[in-house]
Amino acid sequence: MITRVTTQMSMAAATNRLQAGAAKLAQLTEQATTLKTIGRPSDDPVGTASAMQVRKEQAANAQYTRNANDAAGWLANTDSALSDVHSVLSKVRDLTVQAANAGTMNSADREAIATQLKGLAADLAASANATYGTRSVFAGSSTAATVYDPATGWASSTAPVDRRIGDGSTVRVDTDGTEVFGSGATSVFATIGSIVDDLQQGVDVNPRLKDLDAHLTTVRGAQADVGVRHAAAIAAQSSLKSSSVDLEARRSSIEDKDLAKAVLDLQLQQTNYQAALAVTAKVLQPTLMDYLR
């Protein structure tokens, strides 16, 4: 069976082809202007889904990066505070050794050393209240302005503070102050207080050196622990930075369009569209009905 093709059918088909070509030309013009392959989801449903997934991963990566930066900053502050604590305790030990080896010290000399030790104890208290931003580095999630008070001791214990730095990966950023400085009668503050009392009463302070050495060992252990966690946070920062670059490259390959290719595609489509217009005008010549209208 031979299908009859009328002029109207030919014109309708030609019009549809021209409209499709014009729509494609408009799309390529938009891509060349915005340098975006996907202007709306209908342009590329599969690419849109992939782009949304990549953007979701980018958002998670950005949050992990903020967490890792916060963790690194917090732990750096803690490490600095612990270094100060170790330095102060070393000075306390030196003064105690000096007092223990001076058999002919008079009361004025002992009082002078006791005064220095009281000042060092105040320095330790300041370190115990070290902060990162507005948060204490030695008191977990506590929001107290002062977590250690020489008169009342430590504020009530709080939950530890963790930062998620990757899928299934967290790092603890706080350090328990009672583990570093001790509490009650076994704290470093109590030890220094006992040394001061011994000096003022003329008692030999040599036995107190053992307690000071134990405190110094505890501080060194805390420094090592913080160092390990700080290194983990820094490693996460480096890894997340690399992931950020990779994710951006993936997103760009899906959404962005190369300028040279965009211009070339646009020029090619313009040529094709102009050719289609010329051919259509040549093929669909005016008929008698066009003149009778």
Query: Contact 284/7 with Cβ under 8 angstroms?
Result: yes
What pLDDT score was predicted for residue 30? 66
Q: Which residues of the chain have pLDDT under 50?
A: 291
Q: CB-based contacts of 238: which residues, under 8 Å, 6+ apart?
A: none
Question: Is the model's pTM score more than 0.85?
Answer: no
User: Which residues, including other chains, have CB under 8 Å from residue 201's CB and lie 6 or more apart?
Assistant: none
The bridge status of strand 169-172 relative to strand 153-154 is unpaired
Residue 234: which residues within 8 A CB-CB, separation 6 or more?
72
What pLDDT is attached to residue 245? 92
pLDDT tens by residue, 45-70: 888 888 889 889 999 999 999 999 99
Q: Assign 132 to helix, strand or coil.
A: strand
- Residue 108: the pLDDT is 86
- The torsion of the CA quartet 8, 13, 15, 19, rounded to 10 degrees, works out to 160
Partners of residue 171 on adjacent β-strands: 163
Task: Return d(Cα 114, Cα 93) in angstroms, integer.
Answer: 12
pLDDT confidence of residue 68? 95
Pair 147, 139: CB distance under 8 Å? yes
**Terminal Cα-to-Cα distance of the chain (whole angstroms):** 33
What are the angstrom distances between the C-alpha of 111 and each of 117, 193, 223? 10, 13, 33
